[in-house]
């Protein structure tokens, strides 16, 4: 598939204006109209599955199983869930009023925000562009979609397919890179939903501040996996290897590094080695189930992390092949806390393993660093698991598995602190793109004079009594 031309930067203000006119005209005011667009998006994903799988294969050598489960299928589940629950989500929520406000009734009425901007990264280029769109459309917003230029085949597919299925007055795709995103950020939106790295997250938030536009920032960071001495090591190793080497490690919630109880370190290393072998065979390069690094820049960055040392040995993997952007599943043993690989989010198929004396040391290690997007704990003891959950902070936690928390429709997905702000998926996605408007309804009769001047002392006494 060829790169589709980005709309000229000069046309961006007109695109946003058109979406605002459609919003103001109430084109997505009814539940029916929102469901109509969601069904069209559903049709697109079903009818264009092959085209989308091919685009993701071109960008990341994504195996169809991974591209379906973590991208197309995940968005389809989001759509199904939204279609099923939209009536309930849109219904005003009655709340109690205190006696002093009676007679009267109060409710929270969800209303759309207006015109929203969704900026997506390259690693899950279908899911991370379209799953936020499900929430935005369900809540009744018009949207500009900005796919990542780093996954050009998928960006081109979106630019071609979305106008064929969705109403162009409601959803527009703007392809391109920094120049186009900068031009978009100069416009006034009613919400900006950004997924990507924290450096650009700051640029987005600064631009949004000029218009007092609220933002959702879905960022990354180093997500730890804690392995206790009583964990089922074989299962733990398989789940860690799966979560880490899925999409060649280019997953925001991939276990970034492992903190293992020193007493089971060797056992875990052996089990990781077996798991990698079972998954990808003797030669992962020839496995069709293993992806590629997105571009040479990232391949160089990852290779430099390996070259910088700070670890005792390579249990498996190591250097790859720049020409094909292949980097093997790599497990590092005896990693020092100050190794280069521990400085920044790895975002590639390198798994550093660090030994700790006990769970408390692991908890301290995690708490000494930025709050992660995900935290994994492997243990057969509920007490250990609960201790880790209570004493650490993370966007989300998965116990005895990796990555799967992202797929649970009604679990909000988002970060905390340096890993982001705000969340989406299921009802959380609808809420992110809605304003919960407070409405108090009062009858005109009776009309007691208690609140009105002149403020007699009996009124003051009465107010004090009821508040």
Three-class secondary structure of residue 106 per DSSP = strand
Question: Is 252 or 366 the residue whose CB approaches ligand NAD more closely?
Answer: 252
Could you confirm whether 398 is annotated as catalytic?
A: no
Q: Which of 312, 361, 302 lies closest to 336, judged by CA?
A: 312
DSSP one-letter code for 9:
G
For the record, the structure tokens of 325 come out as 């952007």
* Least gap, CB of 154 to ligand NAD (angstroms): 11
- Which ranges constitute the DSSP H helices of 333-456? 359-367, 382-391, 426-432
d(CA 141, CA 308): 47
Determine contact, residues 259/384, Cβ cutoff 8 Å.
no
d(CA 187, CA 125): 24
Which entry of 71, 218, 265, 345 is annotated as an active-site residue?
218
* Least gap, CB of 195 to ligand NAD (angstroms): 5
Residues 6+ away with beta carbon under 8 Å from 166:
37, 40, 41, 44
Question: Is 70 or 275 the residue whose CB approaches ligand NAD more closely?
Answer: 70
* Least gap, CB of 418 to ligand NAD (angstroms): 10
Determine contact, residues 381/232, Cβ cutoff 8 Å.
no
* Least gap, CB of 415 to ligand NAD (angstroms): 6
Residue with tokens 């539940």: 31
d(CA 467, CA 465): 6
Q: Which of 174, 146, 129, 153 lies closest to 294, judged by CA?
A: 153
Question: Is 33 or 295 the residue whose CB approaches ligand NAD more closely?
Answer: 295
* Least gap, CB of 395 to ligand NAD (angstroms): 7
d(CA 431, CA 426): 9
Q: Which residue is nearest to ligand NAD (CB)?
A: 220
Could you confirm whether 218 is annotated as catalytic?
A: yes
Q: Which of 258, 242, 328 lies closest to 65, judged by CA?
A: 242
Which entry of 90, 252, 316, 398 is annotated as an active-site residue?
252
Question: Is 61 or 315 the residue whose CB approaches ligand NAD more closely?
Answer: 61
What count of other Cβ atoms lies within 10 Å of the Cβ of residue 94? 10
d(CA 126, CA 64): 13
Question: Is 182 or 287 the residue whose CB approaches ligand NAD more closely?
Answer: 182
Q: Which positions lie near ligand NAD, rule CB under 6 A?
A: 119-123, 128, 146, 148-150, 177-178, 181-182, 195-197, 200, 203, 218-220, 252, 345, 347, 373, 415, 420
d(CA 324, CA 285): 9
Three-class secondary structure of residue 225 per DSSP = strand
* Least gap, CB of 109 to ligand NAD (angstroms): 29
d(CA 146, CA 172): 9
Q: Which of 449, 462, 415, 429 lies closest to 136, judged by CA?
A: 429
* Least gap, CB of 134 to ligand NAD (angstroms): 14
Question: Is 110 or 135 the residue whose CB approaches ligand NAD more closely?
Answer: 135
* Least gap, CB of 248 to ligand NAD (angstroms): 13
Catalytic sites, residue numbers: 218, 252
């Amino acid at each position: 598939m060829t790169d589709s031309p980005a709309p000229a930067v000069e046309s961006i203000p007109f695109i946003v204006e058109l979406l605002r006119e459609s919003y103001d005209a109430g084109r997505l005011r009814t539940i029916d109209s929102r469901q109509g667009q969601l069904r069209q998006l559903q049709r697109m994903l079903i009818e264009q599955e092959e085209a989308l799988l091919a685009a993701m294969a071109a960008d990341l050598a994504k195996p169809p199983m991974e591209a379906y489960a973590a991208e197309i299928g995940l968005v389809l589940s989001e759509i199904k869930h939204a279609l099923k629950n939209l009536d309930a989500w849109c219904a005003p929520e009655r709340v109690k009023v205190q006696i002093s406000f009676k007679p009267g009734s109060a409710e929270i009425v969800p209303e759309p925000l207006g015109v929203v901007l969704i900026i997506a990264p390259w690693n899950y280029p279908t899911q991370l562009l379209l799953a936020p769109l499900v929430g935005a459309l369900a809540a009744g917003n018009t949207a500009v979609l900005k796919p990542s230029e780093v996954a050009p085949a998928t960006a081109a597919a979106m630019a071609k397919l979305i106008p064929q299925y969705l109403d162009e007055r409601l959803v527009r795709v703007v392809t391109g890179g920094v120049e186009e995103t900068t031009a978009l950020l100069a416009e006034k939106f009613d919400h900006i939903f950004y997924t990507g790295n924290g450096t650009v997250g700051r640029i987005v938030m600064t631009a949004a501040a000029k218009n007092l536009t609220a933002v959702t920032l879905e960022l990354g960071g180093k997500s730890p996996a804690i392995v206790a001495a009583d964990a089922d090591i074989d299962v733990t190793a398989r789940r860690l290897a799966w979560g880490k080497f899925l999409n060649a490690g280019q997953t925001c919630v991939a276990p970034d590094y492992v903190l293992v109880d020193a007493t089971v370190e060797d056992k875990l290393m052996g089990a990781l080695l077996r798991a990698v072998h079972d998954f990808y065979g003797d030669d992962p390069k020839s496995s069709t189930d293993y992806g590629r690094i997105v571009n040479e820049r990232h391949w160089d960055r990852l290779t430099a992390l390996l070259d910088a040392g700070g670890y005792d040995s390579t249990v498996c993997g190591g250097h790859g092949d720049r020409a094909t952007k292949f980097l093997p599943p790599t497990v590092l043993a005896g990693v020092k806390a100050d190794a280069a690989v521990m400085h920044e989010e790895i975002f590639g198929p390198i798994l550093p393993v660090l030994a700790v004396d006990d769970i408390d040391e692991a908890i301290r290690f995690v708490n000494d660093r930025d709050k992660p997007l995900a935290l994994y704990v492997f243990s057969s003891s509920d007490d250990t698991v609960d201790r880790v959950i209570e004493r650490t902070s993370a966007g989300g936690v998965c116990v005895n598995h990796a990555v799967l928390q992202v797929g649970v429709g009604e679990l909000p997905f988002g970060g905390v602190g340096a890993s982001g702000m705000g969340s989406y998926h299921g009802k959380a996605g609808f809420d992110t793109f809605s304003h919960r408007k407070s409405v108090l309804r009062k009858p005109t009769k009776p009309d007691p004079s208690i609140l009105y001047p002149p403020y007699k002392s009996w009124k003051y006494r009465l107010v004090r009594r009821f508040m």
